[in-house]
Amino acid sequence: MRYGWGMSVTEMIREARKLPLEELRALARELDEELARRVDERFVEAVEAGEFDHLAKEAEAEYRAGKTRPLDEILDD
């Protein structure tokens, strides 16, 4: 697939391999930040759409049934 700047991902990777180390690191940081931003956006969309409501209901039912443990106990194990 070609993107707005006319390069495929394979071509972009090939060009990135030619970068000096510091520029490659800067590119990697930018890409990491962009990926994190998009993942965060998707998570917010999923929460707002109710995609996790069933998990919240299950957790509440387990809590009321006494099937939960305090987090510090779990971390100490």
Mind listing the pLDDT tens digit for each residue in 2-34? 777 788 999 999 999 999 999 999 999 999 999
43 domain residue, yes or no: yes
Say which residue the tokens 């956006």 belong to. Answer: 41
Number of domains in the chain: 1
CA distance 26 to 34: 12
Tens-digit pLDDT profile for residues 47-76: 999 999 999 999 999 999 999 998 899 898
Whole-model pTM: value is 0.69
pLDDT number for residue 1: 78
3 domain residue, yes or no: no
1 domain residue, yes or no: no
53 domain residue, yes or no: yes
pLDDT number for residue 3: 75
Domain with 65 in it: 9-76
2 domain residue, yes or no: no
Which helix (DSSP H) or strand (DSSP E) does residue 25 occupy? helix 21-48
pLDDT number for residue 60: 96
72 domain residue, yes or no: yes
pLDDT number for residue 32: 98
26 domain residue, yes or no: yes
4 domain residue, yes or no: no
